A and B are shown apart, each in its own frame.
Chain A
């Protein structure tokens, strides 16, 4: 009886030691996470209670006034609405194009890697450089693309001079830069598919469209969701190109929530309200991320 008790105690001791070791092992990661995420978040919560509008050095405590102001602000919600449709259009185009190109490359008998590497080049360009390229190439005074539009299509205005054109231009630059990433992720999913299933479908006489619908998409659904998750979270923070080219205009057409947040923080130096906007953005992105992860867990598609 005593022996059994001793044995249990011994086992508990080992388990206790193992748990302790595990905890010690993850301690550095927790500290790093605290330093880079949790403390800044807590600090943001703290500064969201202060008003910096009159002086950066001597902010005044205002409680939840910043929260009330931001949540009541028409401009803030208008920026989120705009972000929604810019993100919606951008992601839709990127996903359709990215999957289509991945399927094309997947069917190539040779040279897949070379083609993919060339196609991936825009991803290696810094977003700020992509913005500058867009600005210069579409400049109505000396831009090459503007010259093509004007010479061959009779469109002599600058694309970014009207709201619709500006949205199209901003989305097009994002599509140009990030569609290859979607292609790469989806292609990785296609290449990891079990070929026997595809062969079986072919033997059964399935058409290419049927194979797409019943075999390829279901098998690649998780990687497609990963691409969708990455791009969705990223496009909500789309700021660089907007800053370089349109600065939110014309007529607020490209003033997204990310750009408005940046303006509030750095141009207006209103760090209290910017903190509120930042926390809301984190919350939105987290909810979106959680949603996609749950969909992946259910094996949707």
Chain B
């Protein structure tokens, strides 16, 4: 094992973490402000990826595709919020789970209807193709570094949005006291639609960015959604800060676990066995981490004070 390889894996882990953060930030914001658990968040990720791939194929521009992904996911989010989600805020979590599960079925089958059963492919834009050389003679794709940069920018942007703007102030007020914000004269229904569209746009962006790394297909959002759940459970549901740390922890743990565990086991058993056992163990690693964290802190690392 070389330093270069380890560095590459570490960056891969951070890149996965950044993707998870984009998903988890929306989920945790929506839960924090509206108290809603949204299983269909992965569908919005898929919507973003399909929008980007379709528009990029049509116009030949990845960048237009990226804009389309944000717009489509935000629009889909807003429509779903207006049509379905706002009827669920006062319902119990079971109803929310079921209704958003139904939305997944509708989104998945609807997308198959529109785009067929075959996956779409999305090319990395020319500007971001190629690799850079890192210390220790490692080379690393520019595109993945760009994703990390985008994630860092979004994290900063969310921090500023929530900490420094009027909208952010309303969001924070909504988190701590729904009645007060109503009394303040803020139109809470519009605020909820906005927050939901914002979360959806982040998920759509994540889907579009990942779309260029893997194929764009129905169901692509679901594994990411479940990892994002693990992230916000670890971070503390409702906490953006928790989502960031949780996402990086999960991303790095998962990637390094898949890389290191088989090698570690190879010191004790023969390589093919080590690959098999190590792979199986690595796929369970983040859940073990989650279990350990919950055993110590049942409400996650950064539980919101009011919950």
- Asked whether A and B interact, the reply is no
Which residues of A does B touch, CB under 8 Å?
none
